Structure formats: structure tokens, C-alpha cells
Structure 1
């Protein structure tokens, strides 16, 4: 039994499993909660159990020094507990209120239109990853932070490296020296860049998120320079990597389910529901880790204080106790919600922005592309485990609808 759990986690960590981890996740869900004596992880994969852990005040998000991630952690919103987490989230949250994010809708639509126009000019085959899903969110979050467009490519490379910091160590072993070196290079590059940008915005505020973060505060409480730098890194990586994967997982699901693609094409108002179903069916955030702050009972299992806990959110999102036919992709489902943005105190701060971008992207894909077909042999996944999505996804198509592109510009013209 325990050896079997270790083998399942080894399989989950194997890059060959990345295209379809759901059979492995199903078995782990059926066995959970369970302790893997090899890795020391308590595996939790049922929806009710995962949600209980995420909402429990007796569970810690501070994994620094615990050795359960592939590379060492820095203090930020995702690995701090109250009161530090509460303070940082309160200050940063002011820049991510729905009314603030909604102001960016015209610009997001304009970026989507520009990228799709470029695809239309390039012929009948395109890699949706490199031509649309990755550049769209990186341009959005970089513009929101005030990063000039010329610097976007290096930011994308650094963001891919930083994404390793949330990968759990499913299989014991030595750290990958090359991975750590890439992460440290990215951290140093981001830190130097944002330090200079923070100085510039402090002297000359603009209508961007960085200026909002610098100004955010109550009385004398403000984000420190170090906190601002780390916050910018987190926002850029989360706003880029996870949103790109959300878009790509959605495009892939629609291509594999032509009936659902047809529903969305006929009724673009279903785009929001489609995003919610992608977050349930194939969310980019596949798993998170926590530490038991004290003795804990989960699903009838006693968990000792200090135990590392692996929450398999992707398995929980397909729990048959919550969803009927959970392995079916149905954008009209509307049942039971999901843990695609986690839950509790660490519910994703950027969820409003991610939903906005993905809604615009999936609606645009469904309405703009004529006769889109997945080039199956092109599909390739990134090596990351916790944040999962394709690295390459080619689509052939017979054309791009000018009317769909024109509709994407309507909001910008109204607000312009």
C-alpha cells in the first residue's frame, strides 16, 4: 500500500505523465488521505478534505526551510501566515479590486486583437502557445506593472524559471543544480530591474499597478522596498505563467470537444462559464503544499504537527462526490464550483484578472478561428508539476474572422 503510493507519486513527477495525469490523480484520490513514508508527504486529494485543509487556521502555508519544494522559498504572499500574510494581502489587494481590474478590459481586448491579427497574417497554422496564450498575459501584466515592451522577452524567460519555486518535491533526491541556478538568476534579474522601476514610479507615479502598490497603505503602513520587489516578482509570474496555462488548457479542451467549442462560438456569453469549467476540469494550479501547524484530523486520518501536506487540487476538482460525470468537459455544467484558485485565506489574489483575460481569450479563440483543428503531434508540455500547461500547441485553421477581430476593439473605442 505505502510502496504503491510512493510509486504513484513517482509517476506523477515523471514528465511523461504531464500530458494526462488524471488516471494517476484518480487513484491517489481514492486512496487519500494517506501518508507516503518515502517522501514524508501526507497526500490529500478528496474535495471536502482539500477544502477543509485550505480553510483550517491550524494549517501553515510557510514552507520555507521545510524541504518540500524543489527549490528554496522566499517570503511572499503564498508562503506566509497571519499576521504577515494578512497585512501584505490587505495592502496589495487594493490594486486588484474588481473595479481596478475592470479598467484594463479595453487594453486586454486590444492586445488579444493585435495578437490574433498577427496570426491571421501568418497563414493557416499557428502555435497558440507562443503566438497567443503566452504573449497575451505577459504583455498585460507587464503593462500593468509599467514594464516597457522591449523587456517582455527576458521577463518571460525569468518567469518560466521562477515557476519551479512552487513545485513540490514528490520524489526525494538532490536538488537540480541547473534549476536552482536558473531560479537564482531570475530572482536577481527581477530584483535589480524592479528596484530601479520602483524608484522611477515613486518619483513619477502613473496609472499602473506598481504605482498603486507603492501608494497603497494605511496611516504609516506601506509596503517596504523589499516587499514591493518580491510582490512584483510574484504578480508577474502568477499573472503570466498560470494565466497562460489557463488559456492553453481551455483552448486544448475546446479543440478536443468540438461540441463545446460550437456552443461557445454560437453563444460567446458562455465564455465566463467555460473558464470556470476549465478551472475545474484542467486547472493550471494542480497542487499546493501546506504544513500541519498542530495535530490535525483530515478525512478520519490523524496528522501529526509539522507534517507536510500535499493537496492535489486537480484530483479534488474531479471528485465524483461533488460533480456528476466529473471527467466530462461541459461548459454548461454550473455545479459545485472548484478549487482552481484554492480557497481560504490564500485564495488567489489575481483571480479577477485571470478570469478577465481567460474569458476574453477563449471567447476570441472560439469566434475568430474558422475550422480550428489541433495538430496532435505538436502538443508538448512544460516540465513544471504544480503549475501545468502546454509549451507548444499548434492549430490549423481555414481563416480568422474579421468580424470577431472588429468586435474585440469595440470596448476600447467606447472607452477611448
Structure 2
């Protein structure tokens, strides 16, 4: 969306993602993290057993989605994440349409329940907002749920991969903030984004006519040697500078504060609990997604 609609909707939703509101979630995120790590066997897939369930549990609790419904929307979310890719098959387009309808039907029913019996969750608060149309409310719920966990799953899994692969996992406990920023720069969960030129313009000497779609390669920008010295080196001691993992300007990621907090807690806790963690597959498989780049699985041996 563009202003003024974007400004209005973002203003309504952003109240749940202020630094103060997010910091209140720290104890709960720490508790979920400890529970998940405690349940991991010695040989574990750290995507399905850790990186995936943590952000899912956090964002669903924020929105007030019942725990028993988590499995229902995991498939919908995966399809919608794949639909962000620039080239789609007819089959995926059809699957995306079905997933959107089912997702929105689910939230329509859940919103009706929250309006009848409001809780303390964010969905109950959104349902009470005046001036928010039903299509806007449903679209916002789907966006928050998909964006609130798909990207953070990748942040955590990518972080474990590079930290363990470089023998730097202990650094996550010693300098969590720097570690997360370097993971975001080095291997951003969102590899590219798209925009449409609203007027005739020029980029890098190339004319871009009004209405032209443009792809911005975040992953490439974060390896720009003019901005980051030795950009292809994973260095958790570097000043992360102005990486673009969360975008830029008015569309800067709404959940950046929450994603950073989850990443810092997850990686630091894993480093503390299993400092001798070893990856059992040196080249773990990636999902086929282009935009939301993330691991399919991450087999590891936990040495506690």
C-alpha cells in the first residue's frame, strides 16, 4: 500500500510492536525457548524442533490463536510465503488463492469469537478498532501471522548454520546483538523485495518508466563492498552498519524489534545449553523459495 491508507493501517498495527510492548514479551520468549531446547534430543533437526516452533508460538500467542490450531495454518503460511516469489506456476497460483480464502475464513470466525468474548490478545484489540474494514482486518491478520514467523524461522536457522559452521556459536551468548545483526547482514531471511515506480525515474544510470516493477536485491546490497569491508566474510565482531535486512523507509519491517529479540534469545540460549553443538550435515537442504530464503532442515548433534 501507499499513503494515506498505508499510514493509517500501519499506525493502528504498530502500537503492538513498540520497543516497550515487545520487551514485555521477553520472559515468555525465554520460557518458550528453554522449553523447546529442553525437549530436543541429542540428534535433532533444529528447524522443525526449534527454529520453526519458537516464532510460531510467539506470534500466535500475540494474536490469540489457540495452540490446537497451529497445525491448521502452517501449510497455509508455507504456501503464502512461496507466493512471494517473482515467478509462479499455475499450480502455485491456484494453491495461493485457496490458502488465502481458507486463512481469511479461519480469521473471520476467530474475530467473531473475539468480538463476542474479548481477551487480552492483539486480535481482540484489533477487532475493536473503529475505521478498520473487515477486508483490511483480515489481510492484516494474515500478514502478521505469515511475516511474524516465516522470516524469523530463517533468521534463527541461518544463524545456527553460520555460527556452528564457523565455530562461533559461543559468541551468541557473549555478544547476542552483534551476532544477530551480522546474521541479518550476511544471510538475510528476505533476499529480495519488489516495488513499482510511481513516476519516471532513473536508477544507476538506467531509466525506469512509471509503472515498471523493480526488484531490490537485499542479499546483494548487504554484501556491497562499498559499504561493508570484506563483505563475504562472516564476522560477528564487525559494526553491522546500515544493512537492509528489514527494508528501508516507510515500509521498514514492522516486526524488526520482535525479530531481533527472538533471534538474540534463541541463539544465546542454544549456545548456553549446547556449546559443543555440531552440524551433522555440512550442506543442509534449502527450501525452493527465492524471496524468503531458509533451510528445509538443519540436522545437528547437541553436546550439552
Instruction: Decide: shared fold, TM above 0.5.
Output: yes
Match of 1:385 in 2: 290
TM-superposition CA deviations, 1:211-246 (whole Å, max 9, x none): 232234xxxx43222211111100000011001001
Distance 1:254 1:89 in 2: 34
Secondary structure, counterpart of 1:290 in structure 2:
strand
Match of 2:229 in 1: 324
1:249 matched to 2:158? The reply is yes
Secondary structure, counterpart of 2:191 in structure 1:
coil
Are the counterparts in 2 of residues 374 and 393 from structure 1 also a CA contact under 8 Å?
Answer: yes
Q: Give the 3 Å change call, closer, same or farther, for CA 110–387 of structure 1 in structure 2.
A: same
Distance 1:97 1:233 in 2: 20
Are the counterparts in 1 of residues 170 and 272 from structure 2 also a CA contact under 8 Å?
Answer: no
Distance 1:371 1:109 in 2: 21
Are the counterparts in 1 of residues 46 and 297 from structure 2 also a CA contact under 8 Å?
Answer: yes
Are the counterparts in 2 of residues 378 and 392 from structure 1 also a CA contact under 8 Å?
Answer: no
Higher radius of gyration, 1 or 2: 1
Alignment of 1:176-187 (within 5 A): 176-187=89-100
Match of 1:344 in 2: 249
Secondary structure, counterpart of 1:376 in structure 2:
coil
Distance 2:95 2:282 in 1: 29
Consecutive unaligned residues of structure 1, counting only runs of 5 or more, are 1-79, 170-174, 400-416
Distance 1:203 1:323 in 2: 53
Match of 2:148 in 1: 239
1:301 matched to 2:219? The reply is no
Distance 1:397 1:200 in 2: 42
Secondary structure, counterpart of 1:107 in structure 2:
helix
TM superposition shift of 1:377: 5.7
Distance 1:103 1:155 in 2: 26
TM superposition shift of 1:335: 4.0
**Which deviates the most, 384-393 or 333-342?**
333-342
Distance 2:292 2:125 in 1: 27
Are the counterparts in 2 of residues 286 and 388 from structure 1 also a CA contact under 8 Å?
Answer: yes
TM superposition shift of 1:203: 2.4
TM superposition shift of 1:185: 2.4
**Which deviates the most, 155-164 or 329-338?**
329-338
Distance 1:100 1:243 in 2: 18
Deviating beyond 6 angstroms after TM superposition, the runs of 4 or more aligned structure 1 residues are none
Distance 2:164 2:64 in 1: 35
For residue 128 of structure 1, the aligned residue among 43, 46, 56 is 46
1:112 matched to 2:42? The reply is no
Secondary structure, counterpart of 2:169 in structure 1:
helix
Are the counterparts in 1 of residues 83 and 92 from structure 2 also a CA contact under 8 Å?
Answer: no
1:376 matched to 2:281? The reply is yes
TM superposition shift of 1:305: 1.6
Match of 1:77 in 2: none
Coordinate RMSD, CA, aligned: 1.5
TM-superposition CA deviations, 1:184-233 (whole Å, max 9, x none): 222122111111111121222222111232234xxxx4322221111110
1:213 matched to 2:126? The reply is yes
TM-score by length of 1: 0.71
Distance 2:76 2:195 in 1: 25
TM superposition shift of 1:309: 0.8
TM superposition shift of 1:329: 1.0
Distance 1:176 1:328 in 2: 36
Aligned residues between the structures: 304
Secondary structure, counterpart of 2:149 in structure 1:
helix
Distance 1:176 1:335 in 2: 37
Match of 1:362 in 2: 267
Consecutive unaligned residues of structure 2, counting only runs of 5 or more, are none
TM superposition shift of 1:255: 1.1
Distance 2:126 2:26 in 1: 20
Are the counterparts in 1 of residues 83 and 93 from structure 2 also a CA contact under 8 Å?
Answer: no
